[in-house]
Each structure stands twice: as structure tokens, then as C-alpha cells.
Amino acid sequence: MANRATNLLTCIPGDGTRNKDASRSDFCTVINYSVCGALSLDELVRFGASSKTIYLPEGRVLVRDGDVEDFIFSVTNGCLKSFKQLPDGRRQVTGFYFPGDFIGLADSDVYLADIEAVSDAGLCCMERKSLNALSRDIPNLERRLHELAPKALAELQGQIVLLGRKTAQERVATFLLMLLKRSFERGVTANPVSIPMICEDIADFLGLTKETVSRTFSTLRKLKLIGLDVDKTVELLDRDGLQRVAEGF
Amino acid sequence: MANRATNLLTCIPGDGTRNKDASRSDFCTVINYSVCGALSLDELVRFGASSKTIYLPEGRVLVRDGDVEDFIFSVTNGCLKSFKQLPDGRRQVTGFYFPGDFIGLADSDVYLADIEAVSDAGLCCMERKSLNALSRDIPNLERRLHELAPKALAELQGQIVLLGRKTAQERVATFLLMLLKRSFERGVTANPVSIPMICEDIADFLGLTKETVSRTFSTLRKLKLIGLDVDKTVELLDRDGLQRVAEGF
DNA sequence: CGACTATTTGACCGAGCTCAAACGCTGTGG
DNA sequence: CCACAGCGTTTGAGCTCGGTCAAATAGTCG
């Protein structure tokens, strides 16, 4: 907690100026993909009044495993990762957060993992109790928040199948398609797909080593399923082929 | 859906008789561990009026992956497992359900996995819409239901670390301690711990093969961490030792 | 350009998988 | 009461996928 507070204070506050006559997209670039997507202009003004924009540089910690969940966040820019560590240093990345994603599931007491910026990131930050108050007043917001947990559960279940039963190739193919899907969901030019995280993060997410991830990328390249990676992006040459690999056919 | 309906109809209905002057434990043997634990006697009567007891013999399917979640369940007896399958038959067990556990997380549209009885099981069954109605009227119940998702998320995250980064020994030790903890939570004589599922289910839960699970049990026995297994139970001889193995020290 | 970090590739190794056989428990029928 | 079939568990032998260790290569930033 002390930790996170420090982190927040050391963050460079974003431009908090807000205009009452603003159009929706003046508020926030991810407005239509995040929880705020459900809000009217009036409601957005109220929401904005209790929220604050923060900037988190690459590598900086946002929350620590066990931190009390008294602040929640919505990603506006960049990418973050959440991960757990075993006593001997083994790491498991439990998820990645992209613009529009919500951090801090309603009604959980504490954060379940460390969360850290993969690349320079911008977040919209709000006290949990303010969110709860708003959510009581704004049924649309409440509904949106209640959709989050089942969605997160479905995602984790998929990850459990991946970690329990898929081969290295299947894991990497699944990962690439997930990135594609999530880019698409937030309306970003999807292919070539952006891969902001380093090999080791991907490995720790997929239950592999960085060497195996690298080798698997090479194999997928030889199979003409993906193209050469340029500048942290990879082109998915054969989406159906990748899909077949990912599903284990 | 058609599937689940059929299954319900072929189940032997339990004794549904209820007494208005009954004490709490007359209603249900798991009353204080399940979601109903939050209800007053009056509320229990209302709850009972919309719920039905069903019996599910070993091996019988309760719900299928993708079934619309228009019924929810609370386990009263026995044990169930939920699992996903890959096209080539690989299976991943995503969780086990014990007495007091709730099946059908509020506000998800469809079930995310097949769920099937591991041993003869008894369930309390209710239409989702009845539960929603009750939950609107009874704040205690609503609160209880909202606690379920974060708890499930925490559990899945732990499983993800296990599947992504733990060795076979660590996995089995973790599994045994989980069984112990869950027995304890529902107030059952915990040690020796009951293991209702077969080796293959444990293997599919831990991302291993049944042979590896069996071998690992043998190793833990040689290490005097567990005793000989008698009649589907295992005695945990050295809980701290198991804990150390489970956490990877 | 040089220091540093991330990726790629190679060679070898080992934890856990596969295949197979033996063993043990349980229920059924003679 | 025993024989035996069926299923689950145990154990062994050999193999394989992915891990480990190490070195070369390619970006990246001052």
C-alpha cells in the first residue's frame, strides 16, 4: 500500500482539464471501449470529477500483490502486466492489460498480483469508494462493472486449458490470436499486430522459457504462418492456419 | 440446453418437504457454508420455495460447455468436476465442486465448461431468474453472491501459477493442501483427507498424466509427507513439509 | 562507436510423457 | 465361496518436448 501510494505520487499527473461542453471523445481516447462506454455526457462529467489521469513509465509498479484495492484504474495508453512470483523467483504472468481494460475488479479486497507497466502507460485512476458511489447512482455503470468478472473468469479458464494441456506451438499461436482479437476489439489496425512486451514476459505468461518462445516464433515463420517481425509488430500471414494450430487440430 | 434438461429430468428428485418451524439445519446440511448461510429463517423459507433438491449419480453430466445459465446449483453432497476438452480429446479439469460450493456464477450468460458428478452428488437447484429476484429482495444474499466471483478469480489465479510454473511434486502437494483446506472450511474431519476423484481427474486438473500423479504420490509416501491411502482417503503426515513442497521452497 | 539488453541458435539434458505389463480391488455370476 | 472380468493404480523402460547453459547476433540508446 505504502508502495503503491509512492508510485502514484511519483507519477507525472496527466492533463486533467475538462470541458463541460466536450464531446465524448474529448474525455478519453478509449471511452467507447472501457467501462465508461456506458455513460451519458452528464455522467461522464461526474465520472471525470472523481477520476485522475496518471502516467506510468515502463517498468514502474502500479500495485503489489496484497495491496488493498482502494484505488481502481482504467488503462488509456500502453500496456501493463500482472504477475505472481514463487519464493525462488519463478514468475507467472497472469495477464496483460491494454487500453480500455479495467484494473481492480469490483468488490475484491486486495490485488491478487503485482501489476507493472510493460511500456509507458497512461491510466485513469479513481478511488474505489467513489466508483462504488457512482455505480449505485448509474445503473448502466453498475451493469458494465458486473459484466467484468464473468469475462475475466472466461479468460482465465482459457488460460488454464492453455497452461495445462497445450504444446508450445499451440500456446504461442493462441497468444498471437489473442493479441489480434484484443487489438481488433479496441478498434486498432490489427494486422500486423503490435507486441509491446519482451519475449520473457510472453514466456512467463505462456508457462515457457524465453528461448522456447523465440524458437517457436522461428518455427511459425518457417511455416509461413507469421511474417518477419518489424519494430515490435508481427504480421499474421495465415490466420486460419494459426487458428488450427492454436486449437490443436 | 436440451441436454441439461434431459439430465435434470432423469434425476431422482430429493425429498422436498419443508417445515415452517424447522431449525436452520433441517433445511440443508450445508446451510452454513453455502450462499444460504446469509439468510434468516424467514428468508430460507422463501428460498426453499423456489429451490428443488436433485440427485446426480456418479458420471452423470449436470451442464455442458455453452449451456445457457438459466439454472444455478448449490452442492449439498458428493463431488463434481468441471472440465474443458480440446478437439483431439485432451482434457483439462478446471475445478472441483464440494458441498457448499455454488455452481453458476451470477450474471454469466452460459456455462464455460462441462460439469459432471465425480461421485454420487446431491444439489440444490434454482432458476437463475428466481435467484436474481430473491437477491434483489435480500441484501445479505446479494452480498454473498457478489463475493463469489472474486473468490473464484483468486482461486483460478493460483491454479494458473501452478500450471505455468510448478513441478509435479509441487502440484500434487498443493492439491492435497487444497483438499485439506476445503474439507476444513466446511467443517469436515479433515485428516485423513477424502479424495473422491480418480487419479486421471487429478492429473487432468494438475496438467499431468495419471502415471505421473501416481508416481508422485509414491514419492511423497517415501518422503513420509503422506501415509498409505486407505479407501479413497490420504493421511497428511507432515503438513508443514507439504506446505514447503507446495510453495517451492 | 561502444555498452547494454533482447533475440536467436546450438548442444545437451532431464522432468514428465508414452507404452506396456503387473497388481489389486470390487462386484458379479456360477 | 471362489473365479474372473473390469477398472484403477503402480511400476518399469525408453523417449521426447521443452528446459538449461552458452555463445553469437541484432537492436537500442547515450
| Residue A155, domain member (yes or no) | no
Query: Both A137 and A22 in a single domain?
Result: yes
Provide the pLDDT for residue A6: 40
Half-sphere exposure of A171 (CA within 13 A, CB side): 24
**CA atom of B74 to C1′ atom of C15, Å:** 39
Number of domains present in the structure of chain B: 2
| Residue B239, domain member (yes or no) | yes
Residue type, B60: R
* Nearest residue in chain A measured CA to CA from B147: A107
Query: Both B103 and B19 in a single domain?
Result: yes
Query: Both A207 and A138 in a single domain?
Result: no
Q: Where among B86, B115, B148 does a domain terminate?
A: B148
What are the grid coordinates assigned to A52, written together? 485522475
Percent of chain A at pLDDT exceeding 70? 89
Contacts of A51 (CB under 8 A, 6+ apart): A124, A125, A126, A130
| Residue B69, domain member (yes or no) | yes
Domain range holding A39?
2-148
Q: Tell whether the model's pLDDT for residue A163 goes beyond 80.
A: yes
| Residue B155, domain member (yes or no) | no
pLDDT in tens, B46-58: 888 889 999 999 9
Predicted confidence band of residue B29 (pLDDT cuts 50, 70, 90): confident
Are B94 and A154 within 8 A, CB to CB?
no
Query: Both B59 and B124 in a single domain?
Result: yes
Residue A218's domain is classified under what CATH number? Answer: 1.10.10.10
Q: Where among B148, B177, B206 does a domain terminate?
A: B148
Query: Both B24 and B142 in a single domain?
Result: yes
Predicted confidence band of residue B130 (pLDDT cuts 50, 70, 90): very high
Q: Where among B148, B177, B202 does a domain terminate?
A: B148
Mean pLDDT of A125-150: 91
* Nearest residue in chain B measured CA to CA from A95: B157
Provide the pLDDT for residue B11: 39
Query: Both A139 and A42 in a single domain?
Result: yes
pLDDT in tens, A51-61: 999 999 999 99
| Residue B233, domain member (yes or no) | yes
- Smallest CA–CA separation between B91 and chain A, in Å? 7
Query: Both B74 and B109 in a single domain?
Result: yes
Residue B72's domain is classified under what CATH number? Answer: 2.60.120.10
Query: Both B141 and B37 in a single domain?
Result: yes
**CA atom of A190 to C1′ atom of C1, Å:** 37
Query: Both B214 and B109 in a single domain?
Result: no
- Smallest CA–CA separation between B48 and chain A, in Å? 26
What are the grid coordinates assigned to B78, written together? 458428493
Give the integer Cα–Cα distance in Å for A92 and A151: 21
pLDDT in tens, A33-84: 888 887 888 888 888 888 999 999 999 999 999 999 999 999 999 999 999 9
Q: Tell whether the model's pLDDT for residue B21 goes beyond 90.
A: no
In DSSP terms, which residues pair with A110 in a beta bridge?
Answer: A68
| Residue A98, domain member (yes or no) | yes
**C-alpha to C-alpha distances, B144 to A71, B149, B168, nearest whole angstrom:** 22, 10, 35
Give the integer Cα–Cα distance in Å for A67 and A64: 5
| Residue A158, domain member (yes or no) | no
Give the closest residue to A48 by CA, choosing from A147, A128, A145, A134.
Answer: A134
* 8 A C-beta contact, residue B167 and residue B110: no
Query: Both A144 and A181 in a single domain?
Result: no
Mean pLDDT of A159-168: 98
| Residue B153, domain member (yes or no) | no
Query: Both B11 and B73 in a single domain?
Result: yes
Neighbour tally for B180: CB within 10 Å:
18
Query: Both A87 and A181 in a single domain?
Result: no
Strands (E), chain A: 12-13, 51-56, 61-63, 71-77, 80-85, 91-97, 102-103, 114-117, 121-127, 193-194, 233-234
Q: Tell whether the model's pLDDT for residue B98 goes beyond 60.
A: yes
A206 touches strand D (CB under 7 A): no
Give the integer Cα–Cα distance in Å for A217 and A128: 41
Mean pLDDT of A145-174: 95
* 8 A C-beta contact, residue B128 and residue B109: no
